[in-house]
Structure 1
Amino acid sequence: MNIQSTLNAISGQDTLKQLVGISILNKVKETQATQAATILQDFAAAQPAHLGRNLDVRV
């Protein structure tokens, strides 16, 4: 049994696992950004136009 080829195979599996994990994290990040943008758009659309234009300050 060639020890070097076995070590290379194990190392290759670790690299693959790492690349898959990074890809999944990137996809989750993109999905989360899209969902946040949608929520912000929905929130802005739900607010009546007259709210937030004036600020009453009492001292």
Structure 2
Amino acid sequence: MRPDALVRFDPETESFQSWAIPSGVGIIRHVWVTGENKLLIHQSSSNRIGVVTIKDLAN
């Protein structure tokens, strides 16, 4: 698993799913969860904050 990926574990299926971070550099150092179904992520080398929108597949 690369350090520049966002990874999700599904306990029901006991499987991992991953998504590459578009900047492609750095290690994710900090993750914040917002109240709007979003994640704020910070990568060590890019000096940027990324916004990840979490979609509810049930709706």
Q: TM-score range by the shorter chain?
A: under 0.3
Greater Rg over alpha carbons, structure: 1
- Highest relative contact order (Cα 8 Å, sep 6+), 1 or 2? 2
The two structures have a TM-score, normalised by structure 2, of 0.16
The two structures have a TM-score, normalised by structure 1, of 0.16
